[in-house]
Amino acid sequence: MADGESLSYEQAREQLAGVVKKLEAGGLTLEQSLDLWERGERLAAICADWLEGARAKLTAAMAARHPDDARPDASPDPKRAARPDPSAPF
């Protein structure tokens, strides 16, 4: 993987799976294993960036449709909380 090369999530995930297979198969020198590990870390970071970007887009889309419900840090609105029915038996 060249520096600055842009990969789709699927490409990065596929390459990462290949790196994991090679590492699990063994038979590599320490230097080869370290090189593969570092490549795997870069690929994992690319996947994480894609997933975080997708999560942000979903959060923004949800916020646009339901502004009160989409904020991940929003606590429930106490005014909207279910109140007990005063006529219900204990």
Residue 66 pLDDT: 83
DSSP string, 56-67: HHHHHHHHHH-T
Residue pointed to by tokens 């449709």 = 65
Burial of residue 19 (CB within 10 Å: 0-12, 13-18, 19+) is: buried
Residue 3 pLDDT: 44
pLDDT per residue rounded down to tens, the chain (90 residues): 444 469 999 999 999 999 999 999 999 999 999 999 999 999 999 999 999 999 999 999 999 988 776 455 655 555 544 545 555 554
Q: What is the pTM of this model?
A: 0.65
